[in-house]
Structure 1
Amino acid sequence: MRTEGDTWDIVSSVGMTALFVAAMRAVESKQPDALVHDEFAALFVAAADDPDMNQLLNDRELWARSPLGTEFMGLRSKFFDDLFRTAAEAGVRQAVILAAGLDARAYRLDWPQGMVVYEIDQPKVLEFKRQVLDSAGATPKADRREVAVDLRDNWPAALIEEGFDPTVPTVWSAEGLLPYLPGAAQDALFARIAQLSASGSTLACDAFDADVDLAQLADLQAEQLRDTPFGTVDFTSLLYTDDRADPAEWLTDQGWTTTIVPPEELAERYDRPLTAVLEPYAEMFNSIKYLTAAKPA
């Protein structure tokens, strides 16, 4: 279970979720109709040397047992890729990836000249990521700046110290992050983003309804997925479901223009039909909300 001020590396606690996402993104990249192409994801899995994640990466039949369906990571990654591409095309030259994990967008997206990408995450996670990419001879396509700080701490000060400019528009992403924050930390996160965002800034995040039965999900994982990499880590024990503001409502009240896209609409947008999702994971999958918000210029 989570504790106040807990930390992690890439093969423990919340860090393990970043490795899991990298494995899923690597598998998506192998699909003939892949929505994203991440040549670095498999490198992270190999470097972590976790047998379960390597098994997931190399066993196509096993991947078909994914509790959230084989399309989940492709849809999510494409949604956030498009966020950054759209903002850059509109002239935004400052991006912040919150809880960056093993996100390699600074390396794999075609950023315009002058783009600065800030990646915020735990020090050990960013250190592992940098070592793997440096060993591979990878070169970022933007001015990439690491901000090694816990999002429950005073991350705005650390961000500004790295050169962030709150007077110019910013594109923010909070991908796969919100359920891993306590309610108070999530509320503080959005308040800080709003304070740091100049007019013309945009933000995207994803989350599922807080009333999803996590105990039921844990029981299913223990019963049906225990012999697979999907049962290695009890992700439900890492999540928080305490009270918090609804992001869309909060941002709307602050004057931002918000748009919510459910998974089925995202699947239609990207022409990727959804397969059946195991119950009770279907409840969580169907409750996912992909939120985009824009601060009027």
Structure 2
Amino acid sequence: MSAPVRAVGAVLAAVLLSGCGLQWLWNEPVHRAPSVAPVATTPVPTPSELDDRALHPYTGELAAGATCAQATKRQLAALEDIGGVGGSVTYPVGVLVRSNAGWWTAAVATRATGGAGSVEPYAFFVTSYPTYADDPDHEPFAWQLASAAGDRAARKALACVKKLPVPRPRPDPGSPDSYTGRLAKGAGCHSVTTSLLDRLQAVGGVGGAITYPRGRMVHANGAWWTVAVETSVNPNSLGYTSDDVAPTALFVTNAPSARSGAAVVAFPIRPHASDRAARKTLGCLA
């Protein structure tokens, strides 16, 4: 047995003979490295990860020599998307003014229709699209401001937009309000079918004593057609004579343009000096 082994055996024998157990030997405290739990931290973005809103904060100050520029239809449509409106709430007109660090401040007039409820008369936005729209190295940003309070650029834009005339709302193409009396390009005279004459008699509240035996029509703006009809007073017990009824009547209808299943609209009109379609179709009827 080698010397080291013998030494170990002697030590164990001495321990056993002394009446002491081995517990103290095997339970010797072990010194371990302290355990350190990782602490969760928010990573700090590098300058390349920051966008212009952080690198160049918006302050609402005006750029040197800033003037107001009227917003285009495309810009107004984009601002409607940002504002989450459209349909019953629209932005008919607006302006943009250059503010600090490449930002532009926009003020738009609002219009509510169709039961949209009450809305603020103006809305305000900040955008960098005019600055970086064509720059592939920059991502433009845009957001809505709560108000113009304390914002010099927003107040200037508001003062400018208040000076702009607000265009009248564009009526729905199927609404009678969309009829203008303008002639379609190349509009000519056309005959009116018997079924359309019957429909116009119903619209005009006649039939029996008064009828529309013939008519002519021309294509006006959009899907509208202007119709001139000749009136006829038939023998009746109501006492009507040709002296009681105008010799012609004018109507507007979309019947010749309506597709299968589409709603057909017809309504009477009175002659008006600016209605070129009415003048032409009366000439066709003569």
- Relative to the length of structure 1, the TM-score reads 0.17
Structure ranking higher in strand proportion = 2
Higher relative contact order structure (alpha carbons within 8 Å, sequence separation ≥ 6): 1
Larger Cα Rg: Structure 1 or Structure 2?
2
